[in-house]
């Protein structure tokens, strides 16, 4: 463990040249950060939360051969209130996503989300299905994505190490979870189940679409108004990968 920025001089304090070798100026955050991050990164407790196939690989990762205990992560908590990390291990379905968001809301800060496998990241092979959410990042902030279908235990550990590296970058002074101004800041809106999954953040758009969709005019909204931005079926657009 190294203490970051030893001897770094803060901009607003001027030190005479002759004292520069003897004075050590820092702030509490910089002193505490390494300890703070070191202790957090080595005791990430995940929620016991398995969704699908990836959950099996997650359990394999935690069991005898790959042994998450080496990273201090073996304590799978059955309640989100004691957990730091949520491994979204598998396909997120529309029926399940309200529960997942509710669980995430119950987790205390600092909390992390690791999206394990293709399904959790982007819908995976089941993306086209009517009951599948294409990516949990539509509803929750995801910290690390681990691709694969399913990722092998080693790939998952690789993702967890990536998460540890991310934690190392954080600082106690800028950590958003000590900011107490807005008590609802960490609450993510829970989607509701209607005729389809209803994202409450998008109620206006949905309301608009629903009124347009009348029994007298059962044509799809997108087909009825060609002036609208073309729909996926009509004209696929490009997403140029960066």
Partner 1 sequence: MYGLGIIKGMGVVLRHFVRSYVDDVKWVNKGGRYYNDEALLVRQGPKGEGIKTVFYPEEKLPMPERFRFVPFLVTDEPPPGQRWGHDWCTSCGICAKVCPPQCIWIERGKQPNGRPKPEPEKFFIDIDICMNCGYCAEFCPFDAIKMDHDYELASYDRRTAHIHDKERLSKPISYWREIAPKKAEAEELARQMAEAAKAKKKDKDGDGREQRISEAVARQLYYQGLQY
Partner 2 sequence: MSDTTLDPVTTPPPVDTLTPAQEATARLKELHPNIVSDDTREGYEGLIVYADSITEVAKSLRDELGFNYLSSVTGVDYLEEGKLEVVYHLYNIARGGGPVVLKAQVNRDEPVLPSLTPIFPGADFQEREAFDMYGFNFLGHPDLRRILTWDGFNGHPLRKDWKEPFYEEENKPFGSRWPDGQVFRAEEHNPYGKNVQYPPGWVPTGDEYDVETDVYLGLSYSRDSTPGLKTDKVTVNLGPQHPSTHGVFRMVVTLDGETIVDLKPVMGYLHRNHEQIGERNTFNMNMPYTDRLDYLSSMSNNLGYAITIEKLFDMTVPERAEWIRILMVELTRICNHLWALGFLLNDLGALQTPMLYFYLERELILDFFEATSGARMLCNYMRFGGLAYDLPDEVRGVPTLKFLEELIFNRLPSVLDQGDDLITGNEIVRARAIGVGILTPQDAIAMSTAGPLLRASGVPYDIRRAEPYSYYEHLDFDVAVRYNGDIYDRYLIRIDEMRQSLRILEQVLPHLKRTMGAPIIGDKPQYAMRAPRAGESYGRVENPKGELGYYVTTKRRSGNPERYHVRAPSFINLTALGPMSRGYKIADVVAILGSIDIVLGEVDR
Residue ranges binding partner 1 (CB under 8 A): 64-67, 70, 115, 118, 121-128, 135, 137, 142-149, 151-155, 157-159, 161-162, 166, 239, 241-242
List the Cα angle 43/147/76 in 5-degree steps. 25
CB of 66 to partner 2, least distance (A): 9
We find the least distance from the C-beta atom of residue 74 to partner 2, in angstroms, to be 9
Token pair for residue 117? 């496998």
User: If you write DSSP's letter for every residue of 166-211 in order, what string do you get?
Assistant: HHHH--TTT-GGG--S-TTTTPPPPPEESSSEE-GGGHHHHHHHHH
Query: Whole-number minimum distance, CB 148 to partner 2, in Å?
Result: 10
The site partner of 9 among partner 2, partner 1, none (C-beta below 5 to 8 Å per kind) is none
Pull the structure tokens for residue 7: 């001897």
The least distance separating partner 2 from the CB of residue 85, rounded to whole angstroms, comes to 15
What does the alpha-carbon distance between residue 209 and residue 228 come to, in Å, rounded to a whole number? 12
Q: What is the dihedral of CA 187, 188, 194, 196, to 10 degrees?
A: -170
Residue closer to partner 1, measured from CB, 80 or 153: 153
Q: How far does CA 174 lie from the centroid of its chain? A: 18
Shortest distance, position 147 Cβ to partner 2, whole Å: 14
Cβ-count burial 209-219 (b if 16+ within 10 Å, e if not): eeeeeeeeeee
Tell me the C-alpha to C-alpha distance, in Å, between residue 41 and each of 16, 34, 90, 233. 38, 10, 24, 45
Which one of partner 1, partner 2, none interacts with residue 53, CB within 5 to 8 A by kind?
Answer: partner 2
- Considering the complex, state which of residue 27 and residue 99 has its C-beta at the smaller distance from partner 2: 99
Residue 229 interacting partner from partner 2, partner 1, none (CB closer than 5 to 8 Å by kind): partner 2
92 and 51 in contact (C-beta within 8 Å)? yes
Residue 168's binding partner among partner 2, partner 1, none (Cβ under 5 to 8 angstroms by kind) is none
> Rounded distance, CA 164 to CA 40, Å?
9
Chosen from partner 1, partner 2, none, partner binding at 157 (C-beta under 5 to 8 Å by type)? partner 1
| Residue nearer to partner 2 on the CB measure, 48 or 170 | 48
Among partner 1, partner 2, none, residue 131 binds (CB under 5-8 Å by kind): partner 2
CB nearer to partner 1: pick between 49 and 91:
91
> Of 31 and 162, which CB lies nearer to partner 1 in the complex structure?
162
């Amino acid at each position: 463990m190294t203490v970051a920025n030893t001897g770094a001089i803060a901009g607003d304090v001027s030190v005479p040249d002759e004292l520069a070798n003897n004075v050590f100026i820092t702030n509490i955050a910089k002193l505490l950060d390494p300890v703070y991050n070191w202790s957090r990164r080595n005791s990430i407790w995940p929620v016991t939360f398995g969704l699908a196939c990836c959950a099996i690989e997650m359990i394999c990762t935690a069991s005898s051969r790959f042994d998450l205990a080496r990273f201090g992560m073996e304590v799978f908590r059955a309640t989100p209130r004691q957990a730091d990390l949520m491994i979204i291990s598998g396909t997120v379905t529309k029926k399940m996503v309200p529960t997942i968001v509710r669980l995430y809301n119950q987790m205390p800060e600092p909390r992390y989300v690791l999206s394990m496998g293709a399904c959790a990241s982007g819908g995976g092979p089941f993306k086209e299905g009517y009951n599948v959410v294409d990516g949990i990042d539509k509803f929750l902030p995801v910290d690390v994505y681990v691709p694969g279908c399913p990722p092998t235990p080693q790939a998952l550990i690789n993702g967890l190490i990536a998460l540890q590296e991310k934690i190392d970058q954080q600082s106690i002074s800028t950590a958003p979870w000590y900011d107490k101004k807005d008590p609802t800041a960490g609450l993510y809106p829970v989607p509701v189940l209607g005729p389809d999954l209803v994202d409450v953040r998008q109620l206006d758009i949905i309301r608009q679409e629903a009124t347009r969709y009348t029994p007298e005019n059962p044509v799809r909204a997108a087909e009825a108004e060609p002036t609208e931005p073309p729909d996926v079926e009509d004209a696929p657009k490009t997403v140029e990968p960066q």
